[in-house]
Each structure stands twice: as C-alpha cells, then as structure tokens.
Amino acid sequence: MLNMGPSPCSLLLLGLILVQAIYASPAVSVGLTRRHDDRAGLSGHRRRPRPGFSCDLYRGSWVEDESYPLYRYSSCPLIDPEFNCQLYGRPDSSYLRYRWKPAGCDLPRFNGVDFLWRMRGKSVMFVGDSLGRNQWESLVCMLNAAAPRSPTQFIRGDPLSTYKFLEYGVSISFHRAPYLVDIDVVRGKRILRLDDISVNSKMWRGVDVLSFNSGHWWTHKGSMQGWDYMREGGAYHADMDRLVAFQKGLTTWANWVDRNVDRAKTKVFLQSISPTHYNPTEWSAPVSRNCYGETAPASGRNYSGAYPEQMRVVRGVVRAMGSPAYLLDITALSELRKDGHPSVYSGELSPEQRASPDRSSDCSHWCLPGLPDTWNQLFYTALLF
C-alpha cells in the first residue's frame, strides 16, 4: 500500500473504512486455460479474499443510476475528439447512467478530493495505447470535476503528456507506448524489439503508481501495422504468430518490472484487454452491423460472444511474475457495454464517414463520460484497499 495519509473528510473516510470488509484482496492468481468462466475471473484468477470476505469486484451486473455520470463533457478540459461522443452529436444519453454493481457488495463511490489527498505529492502514469489514453483522460475529468477550482497545469506532448493538480502536488500522466517494448528506426524501417524495453522504461522510473495496457496494436495488419520487422536477439522476422509476439513482448515488460520496480514504493497495475463490439451476433442482434445504434448494455451477467484470445497471454505472463502486477480485470464487465463506444459520434470522422456507420463506426474506444469512469472507480478502490 502507498502511504497516502488520511482524507480531510472524516465522515467519508469513516464510511470507506466501514465498507472495507466486503472487498476482495488485490492479490492476483492467474491461469493459462481458456474457459467460459474466464470472463468472471473464475479460472485460476479467483481473487484470494481476506479471511471472512468473498466479494469479487469484477463479477456483477450493470444497473441504472440517475446520479451518473460523474462529470459532464463540457466541464472537462481534456477529452480528445474521438472520445467526445456528446459533443459530436450522439443523440442518446442513457448509456451515461449505468453503474457497475458487483455481486454481493457495492463499490465505494469515486471521491476525487479523497483521491487527491491520498496521492498528494505523488505521480500516477498510464502507459500503453489509446485505451490507456481513454482511461487517463477519464481520470483527469473525474478529478477536475471533484476539484474544479484547484489550480492545474497541462503539459501536452508526444509520447508523454501530464496533467498536474498543483495544490496537491499530484501528476497524472500518459505515456504512449502501444507495444510497451521499444521500436527502433533503422534505415527507414521500424523495428519492433520484442526483447528490449530500455528506451520506454526510462520514463517510468520514480513513478509512484504505474498502470500499463497493451494488446490491440499487436493484431493490426496492413496500413494499421506499427512496425516493418520484429527483432528478437539477433534475428529479424517479417511476421510471426501475433499471440506469440504479444507473449514475448509482455514477458519483456514483466521481467523489467520484476527487476527494476521497488514494489514497496511503487504500485503496478496491468489492465486486461478492452473488448470490441464489431460483431452483433455476439449479443443476438443480427440486424445490426456493429455497435452503431446500441443504447443499452447486454442483459444479464455473462456475455455470449468470443472472449479475447490475448487474455490467455495476459494471465499467463502475470502469473509468472515474481511479484505479480495487480490485474485490473475490466474485460468481462466491459464486454457487456456494447452501448459505450463512439460508433460514428467521433470528431475524428468526416461527415461522409459518419453517414456510413457500417464501415466507419469506432467500436473499440469508449465515450467519455462513459465506461472508463468505471475502470477508474475500480482503480481507486484497488488503491484504497
């Protein structure tokens, strides 16, 4: 646990202490086998509860809650156009009013002032691809809404951007590193170094809370592919099985964490794979072509579609770590949120593209406000307990 000090709000802190007893331990145990139960974290990844406690925060259902969303898009200084669905014309708003309800307990409501006080003088960094940026911007929005008059500073850069809450000495950063491992450019060719992370990792040293994600970019091909060759040791590869490549790269990251991060000082998270919703037969809507027009979560607690193959890699690599990262296991709960994507309501699309939802819908990223706010509520809970 980080030594973040007491909250100034004694009543809130007392309430959080009273609900502490119903939460599971963040201890992680993961398995390699792929089974339907993996969505609920039941195959080899059952969280070891503290004595007398049994609540799994990642197993539950979505319930309507009129007190949501936690902020408005118009009040947040940091939402990229591709996530700003309300600004770019999304006509419905019911997707904003769903709260994650774990089976058998409740999440503590996110309290931004409490978060800032606990984290005062410390740094948080999200590292990864645009899904990590999605979560980073969500957290900045949530904190800004909680402390709207607190002085801030925003330093936008590439690959590193930082939002600072100056009164508290808290920095919330995003480091763009979609593969986590390094990419070199040699004679105009991009070389993905499966066994080298020395350049990217320089930015992670000394950070108090590190939250990593990767996965989606490993599957891209054609014009979306971010490399020309892969290199491992002295061997170059034009291509290889993408799950194998992902496993090699993520293992390089895990080895770096084990060898270089003092876990008594730094909290390390790995976010599980964020699902996509391009195949409507997965939620029994064959008339649709993708997530466009979806306005409510899938019903029930279990999603009938395919579970991301990359989760076998994620679980296996985390299990093999000497000191496992905390797995922020958002996959199963996010699979239910077919309604949460920008689809055509993205500032990245032209009017012509918006008129063609069958071809142009973004069913990978998430609207803000929206689902990543729940990821951060779980992130906050993990830091509390």
Q: If we measure between CA atoms, which residue out of 79, 112, 314 comes closest to residue 212?
A: 314
108 CB-side CA count, 13 A? 24
Marked catalytic residue, from 138, 362, 364, 373: 362
Find tokens 């940026």 and name the residue: 133
In terms of Cβ atoms closer than 10 Å to its own Cβ (0-12, 13-18, 19+), residue 327 is buried
Q: Is 365 noted as a catalytic residue in this protein? A: yes
Q: Where would I find the beta strands (DSSP E) of 129-199?
A: 152-155, 160-165, 170-176, 183-186, 189-193
Q: Of the listed 175, 216, 277, 365, which one is catalytic?
A: 365
Respond yes or no on whether the N-terminal peptide bond of residue 49 is cis (omega within 30° of 0).
no
The rounded distance, in Å, linking the Cα atoms of 66 and 265 is 39
Phi, psi dihedral angles at 374 (to 5 degrees): -70, -40
Any catalytic annotation for residue 362? yes
Terminal CA-to-CA distance of the chain, rounded, Å?
8
Annotated catalytic, 65?
Answer: no
Q: Which of 130, 288, 360, 364 is catalytic?
A: 130
Three-state SS for 174?
Answer: strand
Chain length of the chain: 385
What is the C-alpha to C-alpha distance for residues 16 and 34, in angstroms, rounded to an integer? 35
309-313 long-range CB contacts below 8 Å, 24 or more apart? 309/34, 309/243, 310/215, 310/218, 310/243, 310/246, 310/273, 311/34, 311/38, 311/272, 311/273, 312/32, 312/33, 312/34, 312/243, 313/243, 313/246, 313/247, 313/250
Catalytic site residues? 130, 362, 365
